[in-house]
């Protein structure tokens, strides 16, 4: 009995509390709202694919690569050595700001990264899993995204007035 209670308590301590894994369509919607759909020519499907393979849609993910000497932060696992305040800080952002589920700072920084000479190739996981994929459309399957940038249709009632 005591052992099972102790194991339950240890299990609770080992699990991250409040982990903010986002749904695929929520990620797609936030990335679209942030202006990533066809930013620098990369479709929204590419960005959602990248988010999955970098963090499994967890905007609070932190990964330490001891062999490479860097840490990755957030949805796109943005490296601290170049992009946030633990390195060269080319995005002018704190690494902790890249962990916010609203994704605003993450999107701003991703835009700077993709404008570099490597484009989305700056993320090896995109090159391996998304770049030449013939199934990218599946990343948006079932997502009800608004057609941003398109004028909204007037309602039939408004047209009669």
Closest CA to 106 of 157, 58, 42, 53: 58
DSSP state of 19: -
Cα–Cα dist 61/77, whole Å:
7
Which positions are annotated as active-site residues?
54
| 93, 105 Cβ separation under 8 angstroms | yes
Cα–Cα dist 75/57, whole Å:
6
CA 96 to the chain's CA centroid: 14
């Amino acid at each position: 009995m005591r052992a099972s209670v102790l194991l339950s308590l240890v299990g609770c301590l080992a699990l991250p509390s409040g982990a903010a894994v986002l749904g695929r369509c929520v990620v797609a919607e936030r990335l679209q709202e942030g202006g990533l759909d066809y930013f620098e020519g990369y479709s929204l499907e590419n960005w959602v694919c990248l988010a999955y393979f970098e963090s499994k849609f967890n905007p609070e993910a932190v990964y330490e690569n001891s062999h490479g000497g860097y840490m990755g932060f957030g949805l796109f696992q943005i490296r601290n050595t170049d992009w946030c305040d633990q390195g060269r800080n080319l995005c002018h952002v704190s690494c902790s700001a890249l962990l916010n589920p609203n994704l605003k700072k993450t999107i701003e920084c991703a835009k700077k990264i993709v404008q570099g000479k490597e484009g989305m190739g700056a993320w090896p996981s995109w090159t391996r899993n998304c770049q030449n994929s013939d199934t990218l459309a599946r990343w948006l399957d079932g997502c009800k995204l608004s057609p941003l940038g398109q004028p909204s249709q007037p309602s039939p009632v408004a047209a009669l007035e």
